[in-house]
Amino acid sequence: MDDVLTQQVFSALAKVKPGVGEGLTAERTLESLGLDSLDTITLLFELEDQVGVSIPDEEARSARTVGDVIECIRRLKRVVAAGP
């Protein structure tokens, strides 16, 4: 999963929660990285700005791992790219 989107998510995580860069993988849970609910919301807002998608609340609530966040954004970008 070493692509631009993954790097954007990792970078946003490091910005929101400095020090999480060590051992950061898609399999890590947001909780294991020390993100509380406010950190998670901040992360999602940061990513929305970076990638230009709006993450619905139900999608945000279901994200448990870094990989979940990456795949959620990947899905949303495909929907936006496909258009109406």
Active site residue 3: no
**How deeply is 30 buried, as exposed, middle or buried, from its count of CB atoms within 10 A (0-12, 13-18, 19+)?**
buried
Catalytic entry in 36, 49, 57, 68: 36
Q: How far apart are CA 64 and CA 39, in angstroms?
A: 13
By annotation, the residues acting in catalysis are 36
